[in-house]
């Protein structure tokens, strides 16, 4: 069964450093998303991406965040200057079209120290 692949599985970074989280969505999917989940809490929407541009973003997705699809397969989330409160599990997801279920990756656990 097709999978969404995320790397790395765990990233530890110093506060103030930039991090890039990487995702390979399912190849025939056209819609891409990033969500985050602080330990034990709800899954929070960050951003959706379609046709090489951001479709929608949440209040969490401020100027410190950016997304990119640098080639035909990767989808990345960059956090420019990490804060302690950015520590969370970050999930990438993709879907064939709107209003279809998402396929999630296994997540990247980001720890900011």
Partner 1 sequence: GENVEQHPSTLSVQEGDSAVIKCTYSDSASNYFPWYKQELGKGPQLIIDIRSNVGEKKDQRIAVTLNKTAKHFSLHITETQPEDSAVYFCAASRGFKTIFGAGTRLFVKA
Q: Are 35 and 44 in contact (CB under 8 A)?
A: yes
CA nearest neighbour of 83 among 59, 113, 108, 52: 113
Distance of CA 33 to the CA centre of its chain: 6
Contact call for residue 99 and partner 1 (CB under 8 A): yes
Candidate list 38, 98, 111, 113; residue touching partner 1; CB under 8 A: 98
Q: Which of 87, 77, 72 is nearest to 26 (CA)?
A: 72
Q: Which is nearer to partner 1, 12 or 43 (CB)?
A: 43
User: In this chain, which of 45, 64, 66, 76 binds partner 1, going by CB under 8 A?
Assistant: 45
At 59, list the tokens: 């209040």
Q: Per CB under 8 A, does 51 bind partner 1?
A: no
90: number of Cβ within 10 Å = 22
**Which x/- pattern over 3-42 shows residues binding partner 1 (rule: CB under 8 A)?**
-x--------------------------x-x-x-----xx
User: Residues in the site for partner 1, rule: CB under 8 A?
Assistant: 4, 31, 33, 35, 41-45, 48, 50, 55-56, 91, 93, 98-107
């Amino acid at each position: 069964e097709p999978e969404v692949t995320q790397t790395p599985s765990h990233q530890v970074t110093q506060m103030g450093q930039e991090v890039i989280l990487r995702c390979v969505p399912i190849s025939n999917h056209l819609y891409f998303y990033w969500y985050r989940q602080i330990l034990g809490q709800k899954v929070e929407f960050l951003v959706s991406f379609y046709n090489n541009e951001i479709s929608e973003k949440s209040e969490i997705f401020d100027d410190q965040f950016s997304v990119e699809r640098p080639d035909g397969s990767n989808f990345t989330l960059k956090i420019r200057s990490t804060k302690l409160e950015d520590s969370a599990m970050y999930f990438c997801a993709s879907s064939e079209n709107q209003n279809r279920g998402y396929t999630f990756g296994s997540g990247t656990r980001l720890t900011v120290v």
